[in-house]
């Protein structure tokens, strides 16, 4: 994409996310309509759906030829998502936090052009922190440029995870966590990416859907993080899959431990 068109896309997405967030804040003190999806920990609210519809409408109007994948919209990733522009929308990431805490949730959009990372945006709504950018723009927290990831050994850093993988010790996860500096669980992929991008945590290990990873992947890879499946392969962006986000040294150590021979 031409630089001028990319600046326009960046400005538009920032504006629309801030508008969706302003609406979301108006609903913070209102009763929410909450339903379950796949199970009791998998929630959706009226605000998730309203934000999805709002953002999809704005994007479709401005980019009529683009493909849209949204958690609360047409959730399937089309086989040809790597052709042209594709927008992945997570209208509220951390819906459990939104329902229980009314904080610690994000609105996220990741944009790919011909399958390549183009632009990512994550907004921590209640903290008013906007993380945005891409390979051609650099990565910013509000207006401040963020620094590259620090490439340190596993034992030097904090790791974020999801609860279920820890309690079941899936793929030797407890052995990884035993070796690091400490464990943090934020309950939102977007909020976890915010900590990664700021250099406050070193790695994130979770099972993430395409809309959970799309924005964070663009931002994190641009700063030198890698995103790999547990077996060290590239992620597909087609389905929910296990993945590790970390700089080079730590990700190599994590992949080695998770594929340990004591199965």
Contact residues toward ligand 2AM (CB under 6 A) are 38, 41-42, 71, 90, 93-95, 162, 187-189, 209, 212
The smaller minimum CB distance to ligand 2AM, of residues 95 and 226, is found at: 95
The smaller minimum CB distance to ligand 2AM, of residues 30 and 38, is found at: 38
The smaller minimum CB distance to Ca ion, of residues 6 and 96, is found at: 96
Least Å distance, CB 180 to Ca ion, is: 24
Task: Tell me the residue nearest to ligand 2AM as measured from the CB.
Answer: 189
Least Å distance, CB 68 to ligand 2AM, is: 16
Task: Tell me the residue nearest to Ca ion as measured from the CB.
Answer: 93
Which partner from the list ligand 2AM, Ca ion, none does 234 bind, CB cut-off 5 to 8 Å by kind?
Answer: none
Least Å distance, CB 206 to Ca ion, is: 10
- Is residue 124 at the binding interface for Ca ion, with CB under 5 A as the rule? no
The smaller minimum CB distance to Ca ion, of residues 36 and 200, is found at: 36
Structure tokens at 13: 């997405």
The smaller minimum CB distance to Ca ion, of residues 124 and 212, is found at: 212
202-231 binders of Ca ion (CB under 5 A): 212
When binding is defined by CB under 5 A, the residue of 93, 113, 141, 253 that contacts Ca ion is 93
Least Å distance, CB 168 to ligand 2AM, is: 14
Least Å distance, CB 188 to ligand 2AM, is: 5
53-72 binders of Ca ion (CB under 5 A): 71
* Cα dihedral sign, 54-236-119-44: positive
The smaller minimum CB distance to Ca ion, of residues 31 and 39, is found at: 39
Which long-range contacts (C-beta less than 8 Å, at least 24 apart) are formed by 96-103?
96/41, 96/43, 96/187, 97/187, 97/188, 97/191, 98/32, 98/45, 98/47, 99/32, 99/34, 99/43, 99/45, 102/28, 102/126, 103/127
When binding is defined by CB under 5 A, the residue of 59, 77, 90, 159 that contacts Ca ion is 90
Query: Can you give the binding site for Ca ion, defined by CB under 5 A?
Result: 71, 90, 93, 212
């Amino acid at each position: 994409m031409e630089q001028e068109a990319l600046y326009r896309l960046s400005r538009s997405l920032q504006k629309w996310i801030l508008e969706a967030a302003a609406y979301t804040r108006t609903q913070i003190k209102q009763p929410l309509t909450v339903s379950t999806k796949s199970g009791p920990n998998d929630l959706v609210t009226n605000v998730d759906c309203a934000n999805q519809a709002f953002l999809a409408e704005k994007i479709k109007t401005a980019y009529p030829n683009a493909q849209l994948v949204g958690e609360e919209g047409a959730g399937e990733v089309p086989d040809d998502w790597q052709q042209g522009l594709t927008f992945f929308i997570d209208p509220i990431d951390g819906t459990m936090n939104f329902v229980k805490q009314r904080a610690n949730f994000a609105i996220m959009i990741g944009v790919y052009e011909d399958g390549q990372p183009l632009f990512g945006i994550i907004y921590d709504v209640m903290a008013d922190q906007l993380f945005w950018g891409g390979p051609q723009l650099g990565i910013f927290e509000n207006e401040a440029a963020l620094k590259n990831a620090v490439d340190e050994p596993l034992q030097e850093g904090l790791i974020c995870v999801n609860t279920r993988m820890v309690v079941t010790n899936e793929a030797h996860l407890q052995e990884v966590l035993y070796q690091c500096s400490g464990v943090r669980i934020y309950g939102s992929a977007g909020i976890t990416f915010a900590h990664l991008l700021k250099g406050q945590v070193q790695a994130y290990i979770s099972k993430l859907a395409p809309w959970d990873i799309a924005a964070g992947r663009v931002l994190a890879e641009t700063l030198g993080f890698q995103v790999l499946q547990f077996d060290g392969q590239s992620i597909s962006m087609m389905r929910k899959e296990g993945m590790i986000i970390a700089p080079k040294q730590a990700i190599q150590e994590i992949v080695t431990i998770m594929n340990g021979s004591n199965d």
